[in-house]
Structure 1
Amino acid sequence: MSGGEGSAAPSVLVEDRAAVRVITLNRPEVRNAIDLPLRHALAEALEAADSDARVRAIVLTGAGGAFCSGGDISTMRRAPRHETTPRAQAAQRVIRAIWHTPKPVVAAVEGPAFGAGAALALACDRVVTSVEATFATTFTGVGLAGDMGVFASLPARIGPARARQMLMLGSRVGGAEAERIGLADRAVAPGTALQAALEDAGRLAAGPPLALGVIKQMLSGEPRHPLAVLDLEIRNQTMLWDTDDFAEGVAAFAEKRRPEFGRPPAGHR
């Protein structure tokens, strides 16, 4: 992947562990703060994982004991809208890549997840956090409101009232409390977030990929009228009924074995 400015080291590391791709923010000297090169490299890594048929799940984490300390303020300055729009769009490209891929994305959070780092983690389908990690939407500290999908992901997880207070006050939430209030899905011992996230991603990678993609699609976007949901459920469920994954699931149930999704069912191999 491409490296950050003034650094020979790549700003994003990519590693495959079986069907799970691990994408690591790699600017530990600034606690993985996001500058413009990192935004582009991260989006490229996520898009590449989406297009690689060998990848069934993605884990997003940070190097050096930190997830992400937010946007790199040292690279920011006052500028007119026409200059800052490409920078903001580059950040949104990352979130679109997470939301648009049908593959499950799991965040493994150690240390700080501040500002854009918190938004990045919350954009994922599952958040695994160290009990000693810290989440904070610190955008107001530099006079900003927030981006990278935080106005969708944060209230979806903790409700609009609590999200409003967290965004306005920039209050910090520890890993254990994050699990308690739904900001994170699993809290684990310090230093074990990546391993726990890999375990969870492995379970997701073994799941039926088409069905998991439908679940992501159905739970994304604007709230739908209940009757519209019923129509979408029929369309998606009948599509899945005529897939190899469904045939494999039924065959595995009858044969009292674990299904092997993502492959042609027995008799069609």
Structure 2
Amino acid sequence: MSQDDPVLVEDRGPVRVVTLNRPHVRNAIDWPTRLAFAEALERADEDRAVRVVVVTGAGPAFCSGGDISTMERLPRSAAIERAQAGQRMVRAIWSTAKPVVAAVEGSAYGAGVALAAACDRVVAAEDSTWATTFTRVGLAGDLGVYASLPSRVGVARARQMLMLGRPLDGHAALRDGLVDELVAPRTALEVALQDAAQLASGPPRALGVIKSLLTGEPRHPLAVLDLEVRHQVDLWESPDFAEGVAAFRERRRPAFGPA
């Protein structure tokens, strides 16, 4: 892997850091970046040594959105392929049972908002700025933003953010639920890695169940009850549950195994 690659991958123990690496354009996402990011997440999902993924951006910005300089009107078939390549990024975040944490510095605009919002936890610098800027180029938004944004801020707030595109500072993003924790500038990755280490020490199967039940397709509340029973019974039979009970009785920290 070269430092010129659009996406960088680094393992820190059981935590894999995936970095958008186009700082010269504030990590704007072009076609190669879409493919490289999705492939990096898919490889992390397949690697049993990886327990948690942290997503961040190189340089002073998280992601300034899609790279408008590479955009043009396309034939319908090519436009569908491009849109699906973007969706592949978010599918990789949602489909893995492993927690994905976003570490956000600077600006998160357009696709950057969608990418961060898709993650299971968002750690952002106090001076970060957020805006859903799709309408500036006559677009309505993609990368799962119509699922991730309403699930975080509610439908009414998502509607205003998408239609007006007004920027939010970090404190407003925290208030609205777009951000889970605000930290001092230039410390977002450090704090996200601390959170990731805590998650990596947790029971991977149970964390995967939590993620699947919260990010799956909309379900009737009564259907959720059946899913909870099924997963809970499976977990009761797992080595992690046995280890958790033993650790409680022995007054020590549990040492959970791989998924």
TM-score range, shorter chain: over 0.9
SS in 1 for 2:215: coil
Amino acid at match of 1:47: E
> Partner residue of 1:261?
256
SS in 2 for 1:43: helix
Contact kept in structure 2, 1:176 and 1:187, CA below 8 Å: yes
> Partner residue of 1:267?
none
Structure 1 CA distance for aligned equivalents of residues 213 and 60 of structure 2: 34
Structure 2 CA distance for aligned equivalents of residues 203 and 221 of structure 1: 24
Give the Å deviation of 1:220.
1.5
Amino acid at match of 2:167: R
> Partner residue of 2:135?
140
Q: Does 1:226 align with 2:221?
A: yes
Structure 2 CA distance for aligned equivalents of residues 62 and 204 of structure 1: 21
Deviations 1:91-142 (A, max 9, x none): 0001000000000000000011100011000000000000111111100000
Structure 2 CA distance for aligned equivalents of residues 15 and 176 of structure 1: 30
Structure 2 CA distance for aligned equivalents of residues 86 and 210 of structure 1: 33
Structure 1 CA distance for aligned equivalents of residues 168 and 181 of structure 2: 14
Contact kept in structure 2, 1:244 and 1:263, CA below 8 Å: no
Give the Å deviation of 1:222.
2.9
> Partner residue of 2:109?
114
Structure 1: runs of 5 or more not aligned = 265-269
Q: Does 1:194 align with 2:189?
A: yes
SS in 2 for 1:258: coil
- TM-score normalized by the length of structure 1: 0.94
Give the Å deviation of 1:176.
1.7
Deviations 1:17-65 (A, max 9, x none): 1111000000000000000000000001000100000000000000011
Dislocated runs of 4+, deviation >3 Å = none
Give the Å deviation of 1:83.
1.5
Amino acid at match of 1:158: V
SS in 2 for 1:24: strand
SS in 2 for 1:108: strand
> Partner residue of 2:118?
123
Give the Å deviation of 1:14.
0.6
> Partner residue of 2:198?
203
Give the Å deviation of 1:233.
0.7
> Partner residue of 2:7?
12
SS in 2 for 1:33: coil
Structure 2 CA distance for aligned equivalents of residues 40 and 9 of structure 1: 15
In the alignment of these two chains, the number of paired residues is 259
Structure 1 vs Structure 2 CA RMSD? 1.2
Structure 1 CA distance for aligned equivalents of residues 50 and 9 of structure 2: 12
Q: Paired residue for 1:26, among 21, 24, 40?
A: 21
> Partner residue of 1:70?
65
Structure 2 CA distance for aligned equivalents of residues 69 and 263 of structure 1: 36
Range with greater deviation from structure 2 (198-207 or 218-227): 218-227
Structure 2: runs of 5 or more not aligned = none
